[in-house]
Structure 1
């Protein structure tokens, strides 16, 4: 029987999401990869246990996470029942819908039909009555934004989600979504956006908008799918994500000589700071305006442990930030 660490809240920091009452751990765990039906169940279970033991209370999913699609939610539901059922009120569970999930005209994008149906399926797979956060996963170029936001509003009013947000939206569409939800009376509190030292698009207006509107940002792929770790310092190892053709999130074309040179220089600075490159990359993301949590992925327990240890290091001096800017130019 799993008994969590009694001191799990002593070292983790928790940040308020905008002007809401919700707080997220500085490090959250995403189940995008390594939690599907083709992965080792006991390893998944061990990672979730270790994460909770370290104070990670937020677990992030989506309807299509796997493979196969839906299997990450199913596996999470089994682990929740075995280990975390009595701790449900200490957890923030999020899921999303917006990418292809089932065939036909109602299994993709952002219609009210799809979003409501998808969340019902997600809740069944996970064996829970509600999620803490429900996101629309990507903009729909054809469905009116008013309908998509109305679906989020309906889901909150039905009690199927406590909070709602969006993911992968640009600045202009985010501003429109916030305005629509305001008029409907359901607060927009969070945007899940790709953000790392090597992908800084959120700095071009999104974080300013979120700060202005009293919302927060949770950064996914803060380690650039592993590129901001020591794995690629000498090129592409055969067991890496970039070497696996079936994983589309990072490819060999991303691991350019220029990128490796930047990573090597960043690694030197991280060593001078007494931390790993991954730890420094996480701390760098967290110092950005409006970013309340860094959403990590993991394939083994030791990666979670290393990432959480990032919080043991101090912030950046002005000199260090200047050096980082010079490297990233």
Structure 2
């Protein structure tokens, strides 16, 4: 049976303008970093993307190397676009990235024009689209002139292969320099994608100020700190959690007892707010309107439903914010 989107999908989601652009993004976006690769169950991926869109999530975030194997998340999304979402392409924001290792040899990673243009061409083929809405440089390249990398992003927009461009993992200083180059070229930077959560606050030390000054939006990845800011670890590391599995990004032995103690106290505060810990953590990232969108990952539909539920309570009292700071400072 063909997919027909929920008619009320736009009724409850909040949409925020990205910086000083004309583009709005949903407060919650779905990332395809994990669980959408060739090793994963297609039916589960399909169910998650359908449910996300039915709940008003219009933005789906990929990268050339997402999988595993690398490239397979884009292939999965391409199949979904072809068979389920073709009528809704103009309601979707599709983003992808290049910067990390993708293929062997000197042109398969980092920030050269050769690599960025080639990588996006491959991504477009895998997804079966003529253009992406946002194309990111995934990480700064210390050995390629910034003018070349930004020039490649500008070229890609002029070629019609992306509507907007963004940066990921750039420092405050690098972002300021890159933004100046892009403005001169006539293709302003739309958005920055940094890691950000209650337990990872580096963007507050300068980057957020640069984004405000430059009129650049932001989308926070790992807002739940790889799942630690959920109820998964309240009683220690569960056998079926990501930390106990084969993930190279999160290991059980890296989760300290003092971290879990903070998580338990944050969970108590979330319960007082009528939220799950994960919902409060997402609301906290979005507090005050400085972050455009929180980028979640999911392995099942219920996690997406929980995340979207955060949108119904995004306001904190000054007392709640002070309590959170006190817990985190312990």
Interval containing the TM-score (normalised by the shorter chain): over 0.9
Residue 109 (structure 1) aligned with residue 119 (structure 2): no
Q: Is the 8 A contact 1:51 1:304 kept in 2?
A: yes
Please tell me the root mean square deviation across aligned C-alpha atoms, in Å: 0.8
- Between the aligned partners of 2:288 and 2:206, the Cα distance in structure 1 is 12
Contiguous gaps of at least 5 residues in structure 1 = none
Partner of residue 241, structure 1: 242
Aligned match of 1:213: 214
C-alpha deviation, 1:314, in angstroms: 4.5
Task: Specify the alignment match of 1:202 in structure 2.
Answer: 203
Correspondence for 1:145: 146
Are 1:172 and 2:199 counterparts? no
User: How many equivalent pairs are there?
Assistant: 328
Give per-residue Cα distances to partners, 1:124-161, cap 9 Å, x unaligned: 00000000000000011111111100000000000000
1:48 and 1:7 mapped to 2: Cα distance? 16
Partners of 1:211 and 1:289 within 8 A in 2: no
Q: How far apart in 1 are the matches of 2:272 and 2:108? A: 50
SS across alignment from 1:219: strand
CA distance in 2, matches of 1:172, 1:299: 35
Tell me, yes or no, if the aligned pair for 2:286 and 2:314 is still in contact at 8 Å: no
* C-alpha separation in 1, matches of 2:327 and 2:174: 32
Equivalent residues of 1:208, 1:289 under 8 A apart: no
- The alpha-carbon deviation at position 248 of structure 1 amounts to 1.7
**Shift of residue 312, structure 1, vs aligned partner:** 1.3
Q: Is the 8 A contact 1:192 1:220 kept in 2?
A: yes
TM-score, normalised relative to structure 1 = 0.98
CA distance in 1, matches of 2:30, 2:239: 25
SS of the equivalent of 1:262 reads helix
Residues 287 and 314, structure 2, Cα contact 8 Å, conserved in 1: no
Q: Which residue of 2 is the match for residue 11 of structure 1?
A: 12
Deviation digits for residues 87-126 of structure 1, max 9, x if unmatched?
0000000000000000000000010000000000000000
Instruction: Tell me if the contact between 2:284 and 2:314 (Cα under 8 Å) persists in the aligned partners.
Output: no
Q: CA deviation at 1:204?
A: 0.4
Deviation digits for residues 253-307 of structure 1, max 9, x if unmatched? 4311111011000000000111100000000000155300000000000110011
> CA, structure 1 residues 316+159, in 2 after alignment: closer, same or farther (shift >3 Å)?
same
C-alpha separation in 2, matches of 1:132 and 1:254:
36
Alignment partners' CA distance in 2, 1:312 and 1:122: 35
Q: Does residue 1:323 correspond to 2:323, yes or no?
A: yes
Map of 1:290 onto structure 2: 290
1:303-325 Cα shifts (integer Å, max 9, x gaps): 10011011112410000000000
Q: Write the deviation string for residues 27-54 of structure 1: whole angstroms up to 9, x where unpaired.
A: 0000000000000000000000000000
Q: Give me the TM-score of the superposition, normalised by structure 2.
A: 0.98
1 CA distance for matches of 2:75 and 2:16?
29
Q: Secondary structure at the match of 2:295?
A: strand
Distance verdict in 2 for CA 1:153–1:4, change over 3 Å = same
Question: Distance in 1 between the 2:147 and 2:256 partners?
Answer: 41
Structure 2 residue runs of 5 or longer lacking an equivalent are: none
